[in-house]
Amino acid sequence: MSERRPGEIPEATVARLAVYLRVLTGLVDASTVIVSSEELAAIAGVNSAKLRKDLSYLGSIGTRGVGYDVTLLREKIASSLGLTQRRTCVLVGVGNLGHALAGYPGFSSRGFTFVGYFDVDPGRVGDPIADSKISDISELESVVEANGVSIGVIATPAEAAQTVCDRLVDAGVTSILNFAPSVLAVPDNVDVRKVDLAAELQILSFHEHRKSRGPGDGLVESVG
Amino acid sequence: MSERRPGEIPEATVARLAVYLRVLTGLVDASTVIVSSEELAAIAGVNSAKLRKDLSYLGSIGTRGVGYDVTLLREKIASSLGLTQRRTCVLVGVGNLGHALAGYPGFSSRGFTFVGYFDVDPGRVGDPIADSKISDISELESVVEANGVSIGVIATPAEAAQTVCDRLVDAGVTSILNFAPSVLAVPDNVDVRKVDLAAELQILSFHEHRKSRGPGDGLVESVG
DNA sequence: AACCGCTTGTGAACGTAAGAACAAAGTCGA
DNA sequence: TCGACTTTGTTCTTACGTTCACAAGCGGTT
Ligand SMILES: NC(=O)c1ccc[n+]([C@@H]2O[C@H](COP(=O)([O-])OP(=O)(O)OC[C@H]3O[C@@H](n4cnc5c(N)ncnc54)[C@H](O)[C@@H]3O)[C@@H](O)[C@H]2O)c1
Ligand SMILES: NC(=O)c1ccc[n+]([C@@H]2O[C@H](COP(=O)([O-])OP(=O)(O)OC[C@H]3O[C@@H](n4cnc5c(N)ncnc54)[C@H](O)[C@@H]3O)[C@@H](O)[C@H]2O)c1
């Protein structure tokens, strides 16, 4: 019955590991040495059984009767997420959103190095950005190849996203973070994650709609 | 065995409805009249059976042997998501990211009206933003209450997020979109969605890490 | 009207994830 | 050294989500 291979971490768990990592970094900063699953789960906003199960995929890290060594756990999670080596990234499309992303220090502090910011607009190319400069999109491939870039961030309009994606993939990028509202087609070996902000608001809208009709009543409003 | 109430749409489905809606809007613009589940699924990047099941929660909309009426389906999804009425929103924290969000026309075009942009920084208050002005955070409650705001967007630093959240909730906001890397505590009747961009990169990093060790082999590199 | 080809809507099988509950395994005090 | 106590790691159950496969239903054609 579908025994999970050791080292195979469920997708849902991976997403939460990133959250635990952030919480643990906060605890390290606060000089906390030991934390129990109950405490950590409370801070991370999850069920403690779920947290323990998540951590169990990384091996047996805690001490029964005591809890988890904060520093050790943080390192273990970081290494599971492949964060022991810095990852190089490029950003394509330095408009409104691209500027915000480029100016965010949280990426670098978490081990992500942006080695290039690209735009097609000649009016923007050369502009300073995050102690670097906006490069022309024509330089994309050479920068990606020279730096072994593995992650590409797309913040262009939707129409350009697939073209940009194809170029990134051809140049060797194997992970894409897409902010454009479009579905990207990629080869099997490439991972895509999308951030669809309008969709987020629409999902909230759905729940608002549901709430406003009263929770769980079968009342159908004005049919016919 | 847990029969699903009519009108109860699974969470995973709701998230995809937003995607279908966007695709359908594109089809309407392209004057497409009818679309089959196969076509629509291909564009939306999902399995066609999944798409049909998703749509089946909205009732029987398609015509067997033919497909779905694009306009009708679009309207049906929009109404299910509660997008027939415009939703009013406020944005708190008009820094890097907040500016990008405020300048984005895609929210308004999808039925979300921002009625206030708030910041605590006196140096920013009064600055023009998206044919409006940045307001002082002290005006938050009055604007929320006066406009019946249901959605609050938080783009402040993590430290301020919980405080801002509490104020939004107290003022009557029942849905929160949180960009700050922090876990928000809210009452049961309030929905929170978080957008954690650093976590997205870390998830991609995980898969990079996994890929670089070869897909699925049990090989452990350089232990000891 | 009867048939044919096509596409929907759904029931059943499968897979993944969440949560409850508890045995195992450790610490600490006597 | 022993026993009481605490918290982990895991098993088992239940819920949720995805995919397959096909009967049901519709439009067009003869
Ligand atoms: N700004 C937001 O808050 C927001 C919210 C939701 C979604 N988005 C999406 O994010 C994307 C970017 O949004 P934005 O507000 O920054 O838009 P923007 O128009 O301000 O910026 C887009 C940038 O991409 C550049 N560009 C266009 N084609 C390109 C190409 N082929 N190669 C390289 N660069 C190219 C443009 O020159 C421009 O600088 C859009 O797809 C938008 O729909 C943005
Ligand atoms: N910029 C990005 O690309 C990015 C990426 C990932 C996460 N984030 C997160 O999004 C949030 C905003 O990021 P940013 O880059 O815009 O930061 P920023 O510092 O540029 O902007 C934060 C704004 O919030 C305001 N603020 C602070 N406390 C406030 C309060 N109590 N009430 C109202 N306003 C307050 C500040 O005056 C400032 O204008 C942060 O939590 C950040 O971690 C941003």
What domains are there in chain B, each with its CATH number? 11-80 (1.10.10.10), 87-199 (3.40.50.720)
Gap between the Cα atoms of A224 and A205, Å rounded: 24
**Stated in angstroms, how far is B66 CA from C5 C1'?**
11
Supply A189's token pair.
């070996």
Q: What is the end-to-end Cα distance of chain A in Å, rounded?
A: 50
Is B218's pLDDT higher than 60?
no
Q: What is the pLDDT of residue B221?
A: 35
Burial of B99 (0-12, 13-18, 19+ CB in 10 A): buried
Q: What is the pLDDT of residue A3?
A: 57
Ligand 1: does its nearest atom lie under 6 Å from the Cβ of A116? no
Q: CA-nearest residue of chain B to A80?
A: B206
Residue nearest ligand 1's atom 9 by CA: A180
- Residue whose C-alpha is closest to residue A107's, from A153, A143, A70, A145: A153
Average pLDDT over chain B reads: 93
Supply the DSSP string of B145-210, one letter for each residue: HHHT--EEEE-S-HHHHHHHHHHHHHHT--EEEE-SSSPPP--TT-EEEE--HHHHHHHHHHHHHH
Q: What is the pTM of this model?
A: 0.95
What does the DSSP 8-state code read for residue B221?
P
Residue nearest ligand 1's atom 25 by CA: A93
**pLDDT tens profile B35-59:** 999 999 999 999 999 999 999 999 9
- Count CA atoms closer than 13 A to B23's CA, side-chain side: 22
**pLDDT tens profile B96-150:** 999 999 999 999 999 999 999 999 999 999 999 998 999 999 999 999 999 999 9
Q: What is the pLDDT of residue B202?
A: 98
What is the residue-level pLDDT of chain A in tens, covering all 224 positions?
445 665 689 999 999 999 999 999 999 999 999 999 999 999 999 999 999 999 999 998 999 999 999 999 999 999 999 999 999 999 999 999 999 999 999 999 999 999 999 999 999 999 999 989 999 999 999 999 999 999 999 999 999 999 999 999 999 999 999 999 999 999 999 999 999 999 999 999 999 999 987 654 443 433 32
Please check whether strand D approaches the CB of B49 to within 7 Å. Answer: yes
Q: What is the pLDDT of residue A149?
A: 98
Gap between the Cα atoms of B60 and A160, Å rounded: 36
For CA atoms A74, A79, A84, A90, give the dihedral sign. negative
Distance from CA of A123 to the nearest CA of B (A): 19
